[in-house]
Chain A
């Protein structure tokens, strides 16, 4: 049985589904990537709308699930950003839900995982980074913002070096956020695809081994998806708290 040589990286190809005319020079067609992002937003909206429709004081199971997710993100914001951080809760919550559902939807067979593309994750990370930098600028003023890079009590000789080091570690944040999420998704999906390619050629009996392995891998991937959404959100809250803090 000859199998065409399918590369395990083919699953990451972005293909247009609905060709739309160019909008201001940018191709606005709906691709599989944008379809799954839209699907994630719709599902999040529908889930929370349906789960909270009764707003019972004693929650049903669905409502309890929705409230637990809310509480989970609320804890992250409260622990890291502090009490005044609650006004930033909406954006952190939206970020968490978007990444979580986009990651989980990508695990469905034949589905596409938009967060496996660096451009998507870097878009999110750059958005958060720019927003937080603007908040820090407004809160501390331009002088205070750059003072933040120079810890107190340093001999004046090494201040320029320390300033450069702090600046670079500050600028590396969006890249680390983006690469972490994209690399985890790509690695997980590619591994599943590669092992899955072993199932059929090994036949009925021996093929059960890679099949069992894929089952376990998918379970691990679900964990990784949730974990990566949590880590992205947690780090965004930590950076936000650093921008909002008045000391140092």
Chain B
């Protein structure tokens, strides 16, 4: 009768407690992996937004004969749009990185 208790496998709660104890010892397990394409996405967004701004500015120039102010305005607005896109992309990647490391470190 007493041998039954010794041979019972450890309960799930006991196993979970052991896992939690081990997990607490390593608080920062691997952060979310970054791939080379991540930074390139932000960079290309910036460059293409600037380019689109320049093209649209120049087109407005040709249309309204306001050279060179149309081109300049387009350059500035495209630059601003590119910066905005770049910050957006980086913020989005930071958020998803945090979400990934959080789920990796989640204890039951």
Contacts and interface: CB of A to CB of B under 8 A. Distances in A.
A207 B83 CA distance: 45
Interface string A155-193: 000000100111011011001100110010000000000
A176 B48 contact: yes
A172 B37 contact: no
Contacts of B85: 169, 172
Nearest to A183: B44
A227 B44 CA distance: 15
B41 A180 contact: yes
A231 interface: yes
Interface stretch (B2-10, B20-28, B61-69, B74-82): B74-82
B84 interface: yes
A227 B36 CA distance: 10
B56 A176 contact: no
Contact of B77 (A165, A227, A228): A165
Contacts, number: 53
Contact of A172 (B35, B40, B41, B45): B45
A208 B39 CA distance: 33
A183 B51 CA distance: 15
Interface residues of B, number: 20
B13 to A, nearest CB: 32
B44 A168 contact: no
A164 B84 CA distance: 12
Nearest to B41: A231
Majority secondary structure of chain A interface residues (helix, strand, loop or mixed): helix
B63 to A, nearest CB: 16
Contacts of A180: 40-41, 44
A176 B37 CA distance: 13
A248 B78 CA distance: 22
B49 interface: yes
A176 B44 contact: yes
Contacts of A172: 45, 48-49, 51-53, 78, 81-82, 85
A161 B79 CA distance: 13
Contacts of B41: 180, 231, 235
A230 to B, nearest CB: 9
A224 B80 CA distance: 30
12 contacts: A165-B77, A168-B56, A171-B56, A172-B48, A172-B49, A172-B51, A172-B53, A175-B52, A180-B41, A183-B44, A224-B37, A231-B37
Interface of B: 35, 37, 40-41, 44-45, 47-49, 51-53, 56, 77-78, 80-82, 84-85
Interface of A: 161, 164-166, 168-169, 171-172, 175-176, 179-180, 183, 224, 227-228, 231, 235
